[in-house]
Structure 1
Amino acid sequence: MYRFQPRRILLSILAVMTCSVGVASANPKYAAYVIHAETGDVLFDRYSNETRYPASLTKMMTLYMLFEALETGEIKLTDKIPVSKRAALQPASKLGIKQGTTIDVETAIQALVIKSANDVATAVAEKLGGTESQFAAKMTSKARQIGMRRTTFRNASGLPDTRQRTTARDMATLSQRLVQDFPQYFHYFDDDSFVWDGRTYKSHNKVTQHYKGADGIKTGYTRASGYNLSTTAERDGHRLIGIVLGGRSGTTRNNHMELILSNAFDAIEKRPTLVKSIHSVRPVPGLRPDRIEEAPVLLASVKASAAPSALAGGDVSSLLPVTAQADQSTQLAALMAPTEPGIADTGPIGEGDADLDLVRNWIVQVGAFKSQPQAIEQIHRTQDTIRAVWPDAGREVNIAQKEKDPVYRARFTRLTENEASASCTALKKSGTDCLILQLAE
C-alpha cells in the first residue's frame, strides 16, 4: 500500500527548483559533446549545435591543413617557414619568432600544439595560403568538405574575431578527422614538451597529462570563448572524443571533461550496445585513407546483434579502414524521388559566405546486398561516378537487420543535396539504381 512521503515530495520540489535556477544562471558560452571516435555514436550532448567561439581550437584546422600539405608532398617536415613582419607581431600566446627568420615545419607543429603559438599559426597560414585571410577561406572550405556545417574561420590562430564561429559538434568532427585521416602525425598531440632555441616549452594540457588514456588534442581560451578543450582518450579498445566549450576556468573545464568522458566509458562498459558494432582495421600510416585508390570503407551496424562475427562468411582480412562517421539508419528519411540535379558546391568559401548552404548530411545508397564483399564491390564499381561530382565523398557499408539476416547497404556519404541529386542522376544514366537519403538532425 502506498504511503504518503512528504520528505520525498520535498526533495523532488527542491530538485526542480535547483534545476530551474541552474537553467536561469546557465553559462551562455558552454557546450559539450562526447562521441565514439569510430562509430560516431553520441554519448553526451549539451548545446552541441549552438554556435560558440573556437579560440585556439582553431589551430586544429590549421594543423589539419598542414598535415594535408605534408601528405601531398607540398612541404616536408624539414622545410623552413619564413616569418613575416605580420606573423612576428601577433599577440601572445606566441613563440617569439623574429621577422626575417625561419622555423622548420616540425617545430611549427609542436609550437602550435604545445605552445599554441599565434605567431607560428600566422607564419604557417602565409606559407600555405599566401595571406592569412586566403588561408582562412581555405580552412572554411575544408571545414565544409569534412562535414563541419556551422564553422567559419577568419584566421589561423583563434585570436578574437566575432565572425569566427563553430559548434561543439563541428569540433568533434574535426577531432575525429584528425584521428582518422592523419594517424602518422597524431602523436604530436600527446607530446608534453618541445625544445626551440635552447628553451624547453611544456604543455599546459593537464587532461592529457593526468587522465588515463588521454592522448590529445588541444586547449583554447579567449575572453569571449571561455575555456575550451578537445580531448581524445582510449580505454578497452574504445576511443572517445570529448569537446568542452566555454568553461569558466581551466580547472572546471578539465574536471568537466574528465567527468563526461568517465561517465561515457562507464556507460559503454555497463551496456556495450550503446556503441554500434563496427568491423574495421586501422588506417594505413602515411596515406590519407580517402585518397587511396582502394579507399577504406566504413562498416557500421544499426544494432550490435545485426552484425555477425564472420560477416556472413566474408573474408574479414580484406576489410578496409574507417574513413567516415557511421550514420544511424533510424534517423534517415528516404526521398523516393530525387530533386532536379544542381551544381555541386565545391568552390572555396568566400567573404561573407558563412551560411549553411553546404549541408553535407545527404547520402546516396547504391544497393543493398546479402554480404559485405558484394556491398564493397558495388562501392568500388560506382565510386568513379560519385567522385566525378564530389571527390571527397565518404563511403560506408551500413549493416541493418532484415528479419533474421543482415543486409549490407552500400552508401556514399558527406554529400550536399545538390551533389547527391547529381550523383544519383549520373548513376541512373549509367544503368545503376540509387536512392537519396538525408541524415536527420
Structure 2
Amino acid sequence: MKRMLLNLMSVRLFSVFTFILLNLYVFSSPVQAVKYAALVMDAHTGKIFHTSQANVKVPPASLTKIATLYIVFEELEAKRLTLDSVIKISKNAAKQPPCKLGIPAGKTISLKEAILAIMTRSANDISVAVAEKISGTEAAFVQRMNRTAYALGMYDTIFKNTSGLPHKKQITTASNMARLSQALLKRFPTYYRYFSTKVFKYKGQEIRNHNKLLGRVEGLDGIKTGFVCASGFNIATSAVREGRRLIVVVMGGATPQWRDERVIHLLETAFSQLSQKNNRLSREPLLLAKEESEFPLQTTAYKETMEDSQLPAQKNVSEKKNPGDWYVQVGTYKKANDAHMAAALLLAKLPEHYNPVISVSKSDLKRAKHYRARLGGFDKASANKVCKLLRKQGVSCLALKESSRTKMLTAMVETG
C-alpha cells in the first residue's frame, strides 16, 4: 500500500515538474494579420464606395459559414426542409474542434436551433451536422458550396469544408464575400433577419453572438465574424439607414477590436458621403438577381471615393506601449493554429477595456511538441483579474510572469 502511494506521489510530482519545465522553455510571438483587405458596397446597386486589396486571396475563416447557411436557406425555400426539421449529430460532427455547441453524437437539434448556433457561436459541429443532413456527407455538401459560389460569380473562392477551419487550399476575397452577402440579402431577406440575433438561448445556456457590432452601430444587423491564424480577424457586415443598405467586408484585422473599429469608420464615412451627395435613396425590395448583369461587382478597378489614407493605420499588435510582463495561459494544443484560435475565442469573452496580445508558446523540449495559448501584456493585477474572470466561465488558466529564460520566436502557423 505504501509503495502504491509513493508511486502515485512520484507520478504527480513528475507531472508538476514537467508542466513547470514546459512553461520555462518556450518560444512565443503575437498573432500577425496576414493580409488586410476591405470593400464597401451598396447592397442594392452593387456600387463600390471603397476597395483595398479586395481581390487578394485570403482564408475566409468562419465567413465560410455564410455559404453554408446560404444553401440551408435554399433548402428551406424549396421546402425540402423546415425550421422544425431534425438534425442528428454524427460522430464526425461531434468530434469537430471548437467553436462548437458540444452536442454528443446521436443527439438531435432542430434546424432553427442549428441556424442560430451557427450564427451566434459559429458552431463547427453543427455546420457539419447540417451539411450531412442535406448532402449525406460534408464532402458532398462542400461540392455544392463550390458550385453555388461559382454560379454567384465568386470565381476566386474555393471551399474545402463547411466551417472555415484551416485548410491550405480554402481561399476567398473580400469582393467575393461581398458578392455572397449581396446575394444572401437579395434572395433570403426573411431568413437574413436571424443574423441580427444577439443572444441564442439553448438548454439553459445564453450563447452570445461573436459579432459585437450588433446593437452598437446604427442599422447594423449582421452578418458574420471569422478568425484563423492565416487570415487574422475577418467580418462581413451590413447596415441599413433611411432605405439605403451598405455591405462592408474587412479581412485581416490584427485584433477583433481593430477590425470592428475599421468597420465603423468605413460605414460612417460611406453613409456620410451618401447624405452629403443627397443621393436618391433606393427603397425597392432586394430581390434575387436573375442575370449576371444585375451583379455589377467585378474584378475590374472602380474609382474609389474613400482613400486608404483617410483611414486609421492598422497597428501591429506587438507595438503595444509598455506591455506588462505577465500573461494568462489558457490551454495546451498539438497544433499552433488551434492554440491561436483558442486564445482568440477567449479574448472575445473579456471586457473591452482589456486588449491583450494573443501569443503562442512552443515547448523547447525535443521529446515533446506542444503549443500553449496565451493572452499577454498584462501587469500582475490585471493578469490575475483576467484569470479569475475566465475561471468563473469554466476556463482553466494560469497567471504567469514571463521568465528571463523565455526566448521570443515567431511560431509557425499550421493551416492544414
Normalising by the smaller structure, the TM-score range is 0.5 to 0.7
1:132 equivalent among 127, 138, 144? 138
Report matched runs for 1:174-253 at 5 Å: 174-253=180-259
Residues 31-70 of structure 1 correspond to what in structure 2 (within 5 A)?
Answer: 31-70=37-76
Query: Per the alignment, in what secondary structure is the counterpart of residue 215 of structure 2?
Result: helix
- Distance in 1, Cα, partners of 2:85 & 2:301: 47
Match of 1:343 in 2: none
> In structure 1, what residue type is equivalent to 2:122?
S
**Are the counterparts in 1 of residues 65 and 118 from structure 2 also a CA contact under 8 Å?**
yes
Deviation per CA, 1:347-378: give whole Å up to 9, x if none: xxxxxxxxxxxxxxxxxxxxxxxxxxxxxxxx
Report the counterpart of residue 121 of structure 1 in structure 2: 127
The match for 1:260 is: 266
Equivalent residue in structure 2 for 1:325, among 285, 295, 298: 295
1:189 CA drift (Å): 0.5
Partner residue, 1:281: 284
Confirm or deny: 8 A CA contact 1:38 1:325 kept in the other structure.
no
Q: Identity of aligned pairs, percent?
A: 41
Q: CA deviation at 1:196?
A: 1.3
* CA distance in structure 2 between the partners assigned to 1:79 and 1:140 by the alignment: 24
Distance 1:217 1:245, change over 3 A: same
Quick one: structure 1 residues 158 and 27, their matched pair in 2 at CA, closer, same or farther if it must change by over 3 Å? closer
2:244–2:283 CA contact under 8 A, matched in 1: no
Q: Deviations over 1:51-107 (max 9, x none)?
A: 000000000000000000000011111010111001000000000011011111000
Q: Give, as a single letter, the amino acid of the residue that structure 2 aligns with 1:29.
A: K
1:29 aligns with 2:32: no
Deviation at 1:283, TM superposition (A): 4.8
The amino acid across from 1:282 in the alignment is P
1:143 — aligned with what? 149
Out of 68, 76, 92, the residue aligned to residue 86 of structure 1 is: 92
State the Cα deviation string for residues 386-417 of structure 1 (Å, max 9, x = none). Answer: xxxxxxxxxxxxxxxxxxxxxxxxxxxxxxxx
TM-score by length of 1: 0.58
Deviations 1:170-201 (A, max 9, x none): 00001111111001101100011111122111
Structure with higher RCO (Cα < 8 A, 6+ apart): 2
Letter in 2 for 1:325: F
* Structure 1 position 71 matched with structure 2 position 77: yes
Work out which of the residue numbers 163, 167, 170 in structure 2 matches 1:164: 170
Check whether the contact 1:114–1:193 (CA below 8 A) recurs between aligned residues. yes
Q: CA deviation at 1:28?
A: 3.8
The whole-number CA distance in structure 2 between the counterparts of 1:252 and 1:327 is 26
The 1-side partners of 2:64 and 2:162 are apart by 6
Preserved CA contact (<8 Å) 1:112 1:121: yes
Question: Could you state the TM-score of these two structures normalised by the residue count of structure 2?
Answer: 0.62
Partner SS, residue 158 of structure 2: coil
Deviations 1:231-261 (Å, cap 9, x if unpaired)? 1001122100000001000000000010011
Structure 1: gaps (5+ residues): 1-25, 301-323, 333-441
SS at match of 1:34: strand
Q: Does 1:104 align with 2:98?
A: no
CA distance in structure 2 between the aligned counterparts of 1:279 and 1:244, rounded to whole angstroms: 24
- CA 245–116 in structure 1, closer or farther in 2 if over 3 Å, else same: same
Letter aligned with residue 248 of structure 2: G
Tell me the distance in 2 between the aligned counterparts of 1:31 and 1:48: 5
Give 3-state SS (helix, strand or coil) of 2:98's partner.
coil
8 Å Cα contact 1:96-1:119 kept in structure 2: yes
Letter in structure 2 aligned against 1:254? D
* C-alpha distance 212-122 of structure 1, shift in aligned 2 (>3 A): same
Give 1:209's aligned amino acid. Answer: G
Closer/same/farther in 2, CA of residues 327 and 245 from structure 1, 3 Å limit? closer
Deviation at 1:279, TM superposition (A): 6.4
Structure 2: distance between partners of 1:246 and 1:82: 35
RMSD (CA atoms): 2.3
Structure 1 CA distance for aligned equivalents of residues 263 and 284 of structure 2: 28
**Distance in 2 between the 1:151 and 1:97 partners?**
31
| SS at 2:115 equivalent | helix
Q: CA deviation at 1:123?
A: 0.4
Structure 1 contact 39–278 (Cα < 8 Å) conserved: no
Output the amino acid matched with 2:264.
E
Distance 2:108 2:140 in 1: 21
Question: Match of 2:143, SS?
Answer: helix
Which residue of structure 2 lines up, in the alignment, with residue 95 of structure 1? 101
Query: In 1, Cα distance between the equivalents of 2:229 and 2:89?
Result: 27
Contact 2:242 2:281 in 1 (8 A): no
Residue 433 of structure 1 is matched in structure 2 by none
Q: 1:167 to 1:118 in 2, by over 3 A?
A: same
Question: Does the 8 Å CA contact 2:88/2:129 hold for their aligned counterparts?
Answer: yes
Shift of 1:271: 2.0
Q: Distance in 2 between matches of 1:153 and 1:230?
A: 17
> What SS is found at the alignment partner of 1:194?
strand
